[in-house]
Amino acid sequence: MLLLDKLQAAAWLLTKRGTPWKRFQQHRAWKRGLRHWIATEDWGSRIRDAVASPDNAFIPRHEAAGKIVEGQMIMHNGLRVGELSYSGPGNRKLMMENRGVHEPQEERVFQEVLKWMPEGAVMLELGSYWAFYSMWFYQVVQGAHCYGIEPAAENLEMGIHNFALNFGSSPARVSIERAYVGSAPGQSANGVPIISVDSFMAAHNIAHLNILHADTQGWEVDVLVGARQALAARKIDYIFISTHGNQLHFKCLRELRRQKYTVLADIDYLETYSFDGLIVARRSELPGQEPVPLSLRP
């Protein structure tokens, strides 16, 4: 089964867009870039990619976006975050040069989906880290409810601190918890609990999620497996997934389509202007955001 998955993913990757030869060349270029990053951790190419994305033109900028004021980075939407709260000096430089935008493709789609959010909408962010997407949701949606899950204690504190910078120390209807996410609830070896989307929704009496946002560093498929009850019951409207490998990307697309979700954005590792792949999907029967014509890295 694993070999079959790899073969299916490889066939998909080579035939997805353009000719197989062009895709193969893109794959070779991506591998060279990855080897360079592993050897040097040179942020120069990553910054150039983010700044080069044509999707930047669709994201409005606050007048102070990209500036650092009293140790706080001003994001494109005016939100403030600790200048080193997201992956240190490299990302700080990226966001300074790109005027408060760190993932132009994803942020373009997120701003469009936010336009469809009703009052009192609910978001669950898995791998919430610095909590940027949750804060953006909270900033825009009247009466928003935000839940965050983050396994690393230091990262969790960064998210809580960033929320406090913008909305005070105890913002209403915001909860960020320390946990891992998986296909089923349990306990990790270091004692940190493991939740699934289904178990978390049940434990917190969450009847419906307007947005599920997941950046779980390789556990993307487990997230979807652990959300199968909610997906089948049509309890999740929109799903944002950062993918960490093209085979995982392929598996996530397959699972979402099996669950009758319409794909609004599909950016694999060969097409991204950022560090991760991106999938955005909407439950098919829900009137809402249509596919967004994102740029693709050449």
Q: How far apart are CA 221 and CA 215, in angstroms?
A: 11
Q: What is the pLDDT along the chain (298 residues), one digit of tens a residue?
A: 577 778 888 888 888 888 888 888 888 988 898 898 899 988 999 999 999 999 999 999 999 999 999 999 999 999 999 998 888 899 999 999 999 999 999 999 999 999 999 999 999 999 999 999 999 999 999 999 999 999 999 999 999 999 999 999 999 999 999 999 999 999 999 999 999 999 999 999 999 999 999 999 999 999 999 999 999 999 999 999 999 999 999 999 999 999 999 999 999 999 999 999 999 999 999 999 999 999 999 8
Q: How far apart are CA 226 and CA 132, in angstroms?
A: 24
Domain boundaries, given as residue ranges, for the chain: 102-283
Going by their DSSP bridges, the two strands 236-243 and 209-214 should be labelled as parallel
DSSP state of 237: E
DSSP state of 257: H
**What residues contact 284, with CB distance under 8 A and at least 6 apart?**
260, 261, 262
Q: How far apart are CA 159 and CA 176, in angstroms?
A: 8
pLDDT at 9: 81
What's at 57, amino acid-wise? A
**What residues contact 283, with CB distance under 8 A and at least 6 apart?**
234, 236, 237, 238, 260, 261, 262
Residue 116, both tokens: 């469809």
- The half-sphere exposure of 298 on its side-chain side, counting CA atoms within 13 A, is 2
- Round the CA-based radius of gyration of the chain to a whole number and report it: 19
Q: How far apart are CA 118 and CA 116, in angstroms?
A: 6
What's at 151, amino acid-wise? P
Q: How far apart are CA 206 and CA 200, in angstroms?
A: 8
Angle between helices 88-97 and 43-52 (to 10 degrees): 30
Q: Where are the alpha helices (DSSP H) in the chain?
A: 2-15, 20-40, 43-52, 88-97, 104-114, 132-140, 153-167, 197-203, 220-225, 228-232, 246-258
Q: What CATH number should be reported for the domain whose range is 102-283?
A: 3.40.50.150
pLDDT at 1: 57
Contact 198, 231 (CB under 8 A): no
